Structure formats: structure tokens, C-alpha cells
């Protein structure tokens, strides 16, 4: 027997498209709706973009993302930029806590993400299954792009340590492109357009780029997990709405989106 229309709608509301039905029942009125301004690295960009619509439907609050490289984020907050939430690596957020720009109680771990290798979609898939195979693939590649360590990007800083450990820093740097604009142009995008053969970047920043593919994670103990923190800025205009966003980001449905982006949900 065909279900009544209201039952079909109820069934639909339980899908991932509508996250947090119980929260939606207590959603604010339009006059209470807030714009939550988030200053963040690109690592969480895809996840936040995916979840923004669902969060707005359940809370009526709007998310506005402001992308910046890690070394800019701390300085912009210290210099008084008005945002509600800051998202970055542990060093930047912990420093902001120490400087009184983020309250310790308003800090949480959003996700953990490892580093990966990007190739152009449908390109050859070289072997990176072991440390030695990865070394050979790097040496054989015609060009490699990675985040300029001067921007503070965790992937670029760690990759140069990997090159030193493998003893091939001179050879690889001679044919590498240093991406100085990771907030606006992910390294995987440079690979996707054919300007580099391989890209080294956080996995979450590879899987969301059209035209690029994740070849795989850095093998063995060459891997390093980047911990992404979030904090409510002490000068936030929409602190309550920001804390509601944090609760939403800890929900099971949000965790599924985080996992789909190649990340591990935080605590």
C-alpha cells in the first residue's frame, strides 16, 4: 500500500541531506539567524562547503568561509580581524589560546588528515606502496608541486623533511614548483591542469579537486597526521551560533562527510 505523503516526507528527512532533525525543531527565527565568519586553511574547505547548506537548514545560521594560509591566520586574528571562528593546525590555535584570542573551553579537534600524492585524472599510476617505491617515483617524476613551507603549510614543511630523510632533497627541489598560494590554488589543481606530474598535499585537499586523483597516502613511517583545530575567537560577534556549529560538526552525519573527504573525525 502506498504510504501517505506525510510518511514519505518523514522518511526523506532521515537521509544525510537533512542533518540534525532534532536540532532543527529548535531552530532560531529568521531574526535570530547569524552569519558565522570562519577564517580557515583550505584543509577544511571542502567539508565546510559540503555541510554549510545542511547546517543553515537546521539552524538558519549562515557560514561564510575566509581562506588563508596557516602563517597568516594567527597574525590576522592577533591584528584584530573580526571573525567568529578560526580553524588551523594545532600550533596556530594553541598560540591563540595562550594569547587570549581563543578560550581554551572553546577549542576542539575537528579532524586529523594525512598527506597524499596527487596525479592527473586518468594519468599513469606510479608505485608509492613502499618507502623505496615512493623514492623511485619521486626521482622519476618530471615535475612535482608542493606547498611552499614559507606559507606555514604543514604538508610542505613535512615533505621537505621527507626529502632530507630520503637523501634526495637536491634532486627533487631542482624540479619542484613551490606553491605560494595554497589557500586559493591547491597543489592538486596545478597537477590537474597538467603543470606538474605529482602533487604532495593533505589528502582532504586532493580528493575535492576536479581533474586530479589521489594516488595514495605517503607510505609507512613517512606519513604524518595533521591535526586540525577550531576555536571560537574571544571577540566573536556570533559566539553562541559558533558553538552551535561546533556541536553540529561533532554529529555522526558530519563525521560521515569528514570521512568522505579522506579525514578522521576529531573529538
Tell me the per-residue pLDDT of 110-142, one tens digit each, with 9 for 90 and over. 999 999 999 999 999 999 999 999 999 999 999
Angle between helices 154-166 and 131-140 (to 10 degrees): 100
Flag the least confident range among 9-23, 74-88, 158-172.
9-23
Span(s) in the chain for CATH 3.40.190.10: 32-113+226-265, 115-222
Query: How many Cβ atoms sit within 10 Å of the Cβ of residue 123?
Result: 16
Is the domain 115-222 a CATH 3.40.190.10 member? yes
- Collapsed DSSP state (helix, strand, coil) of residue 179: strand
Going by pLDDT thresholds of 50, 70 and 90, the confidence category of residue 20 is: very low
CATH fold of 32-113+226-265: D-Maltodextrin-Binding Protein; domain 2 (3.40.190)
CB-based burial of residue 243 (10 Å sphere; 0-12 exposed, 13-18 middle, 19+ buried)? middle
- Give, as one character, the DSSP assignment of residue 53: H
Question: Whole-prediction pTM value?
Answer: 0.80
Q: In Å, how far are 83, 130, 156, 188, 233 from 145, measured between CA atoms?
A: 31, 20, 9, 8, 33
Rounded Cα gap, residues 159 and 165, in angstroms: 10
Which of 188, 112, 201 is CA-nearest to residue 157?
201
Q: What is the mean pLDDT of the chain?
A: 88
Instruction: Summarize the confidence of residues 150-173 as an average pLDDT.
Output: 96
Q: Which of 32 and 146 is assigned the larger pLDDT?
A: 146
pLDDT at residue 259 is higher than 70: yes
Looking up cell 579522506, which residue turns up? 262
Over residues 32-62, the pLDDT tens digits come to 789 999 999 988 998 999 999 999 998 999 9
- pLDDT at position 226: 93
pLDDT at 196: 98
Helix, strand, coil proportions of the chain in percent (round to 5)? 45, 25, 35
CA angle 85, 91, 96 (to 5 degrees): 45
For residue 135, the model assigns a pLDDT of: 98
Of all residues in the chain, the percent with pLDDT exceeding 90 is 77
- pLDDT tier, 9 (very low <50, low <70, confident <90, very high otherwise): very low
Question: For 21-35, 176-190, 250-264, which range has the lowest pLDDT when averaged over its residues?
Answer: 21-35
Q: Looking at the predicted structure, is the pLDDT value of residue 15 above 60? A: no
Higher pLDDT among residues 232 and 253, named by residue: 232
Residue 26 has pLDDT above 50, yes or no: no
Confidence of residue 16 (pLDDT cuts 50, 70, 90): very low
Pick the residue with more confidence: 118 or 183?
118
Those residues whose C-beta lies under 8 Å from the C-beta of residue 167, and which sit 6 or more positions away, are: none
Q: How far apart are the first and last CA of the chain?
A: 44
When mean pLDDT is compared across 21-35, 37-51, 134-148, 170-184, the lowest value belongs to: 21-35
The pLDDT, as a whole number, for residue 8 is 40
pLDDT for 71 equals: 84
- Whether 65 has a pLDDT exceeding 70, the answer reads yes
Gap between the Cα atoms of 254 and 240, Å rounded: 19
E runs forming strands in the chain: 35-40, 62-67, 85-89, 102-113, 115-120, 144-147, 176-179, 198-202, 212-217, 226-233, 264-265
Amino acid at each position: 500500500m502506498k504510504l501517505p505523503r506525510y510518511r514519505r516526507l518523514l522518511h526523506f528527512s532521515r537521509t544525510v541531506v537533512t542533518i540534525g532533525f532534532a536540532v532543527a525543531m529548535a531552530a532560531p527565527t529568521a531574526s535570530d539567524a547569524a552569519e558565522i565568519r570562519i577564517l580557515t586553511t583550505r584543509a577544511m574547505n571542502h567539508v565546510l562547503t559540503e555541510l554549510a547548506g545542511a547546517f543553515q537548514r537546521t539552524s538558519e545560521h549562515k557560514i561564510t568561509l575566509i581562506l588563508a594560509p596557516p602563517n597568516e591566520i594567527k597574525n590576522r586574528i592577533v591584528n584584530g580581524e573580526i571573525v567568529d571562528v578560526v580553524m588551523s593546525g594545532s600550533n596556530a590555535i594553541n598560540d591563540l589560546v595562550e594569547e587570549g584570542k581563543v578560550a581554551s573551553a572553546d577549542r576542539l579537534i575537528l579532524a586529523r588528515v594525512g598527506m597524499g600524492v596527487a596525479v592527473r585524472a586518468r594519468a599513469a599510476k606510479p608505485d608509492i606502496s613502499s618507502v623505496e617505491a615512493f623514492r623511485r617515483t619521486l626521482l622519476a617524476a618530471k615535475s612535482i608541486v608542493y606547498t611552499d613551507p614559507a606559507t606555514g603549510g604543514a604538508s610542505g614543511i613535512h615533505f621537505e623533511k621527507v626529502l632530507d630523510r630520503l637523501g634526495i632533497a637536491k634532486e627533487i627541489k631542482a624540479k619542484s614548483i613551490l606553491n605560494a598560494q595554497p589557500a586559493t590554488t591547491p597543489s592538486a589543481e596545478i597537477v590537474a591542469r597538467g603543470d606538474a606530474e605529482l602533487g604532495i598535499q593533505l589528502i582532504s585537499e586532493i580528493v575535492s579537486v576536479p581533474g586530479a586523483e589521489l594516488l595514495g597516502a605517503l607510505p609507512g613511517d613517512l606519513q604524518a597526521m595533521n591535526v586540525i583545530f577550531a576555536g571560537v575567537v574571544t571577540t566573536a560577534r556570533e559566539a553562541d551560533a559558533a558553538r552551535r556549529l561546533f556541536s553540529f560538526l561533532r554529529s555522526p552525519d558530519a563525521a560521515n562527510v569528514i570521512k568522505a573527504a579522506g579525514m578522521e573525525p576529531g573529538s
